[in-house]
Amino acid sequence: MSHFAKIENGLVAQVIVAEQDFIDDIEGQWIQTSYNTRRGVHYAPDSDEPDGGAPLRKNYANIGDTYDKDRDAFIPPKQYGSWVLNEETCQWESPIPYPDDGGMYLWNEETQAWDLFEE
């Protein structure tokens, strides 16, 4: 069994688990996606360790993602106007790297900076 994303108007409308024979017999555009592919890397099942497998379409498809046929990639929605697409991972990235001091931060689009999250 594999995961497949139904594409409507360039967006992921549905994701199902099915056999290829089933997909071949239903209407619509269905594109295979890999649950183990994130940021252009294939990971071992239930692990954060790359396993050397072939990544499929840069990212696992989620409802609302864009399927870019030229890149053959699933791309999540852009959350902030200032963020840019990383062509290698097909993920949106902030113009300033996330702080690595162990704190929790939220992106502030107005100031173009990471604000420390305070509960």
**CA quadruple 79, 83, 87, 89: dihedral, nearest 10:** -50
Task: State the burial class of residue 42 (Cβ atoms within 10 Å of its Cβ: 0-12, 13-18, 19+).
Answer: middle
Query: Each residue of 58-92: pLDDT tens digit?
Result: 999 999 999 999 999 999 999 999 999 999 999 99
Determine phi and psi for 2, rounding to 5 degrees: -135, 165
Q: What is the pLDDT of residue 103?
A: 95
Q: Which residues contact 101 (CB under 8 A, 6 or more apart)?
A: none
The CA distance from 87 to 92, in Å, is 9
Mind listing the pLDDT tens digit for each residue in 46-55?
888 999 889 9
The predicted model scores a pTM of 0.89
- For residue 29, give the nearest of 69, 78, 60 by alpha carbon: 69
Local structure of residue 101 (DSSP, 8 states): S
Phi, psi of 21 (to 5 degrees): -60, -40
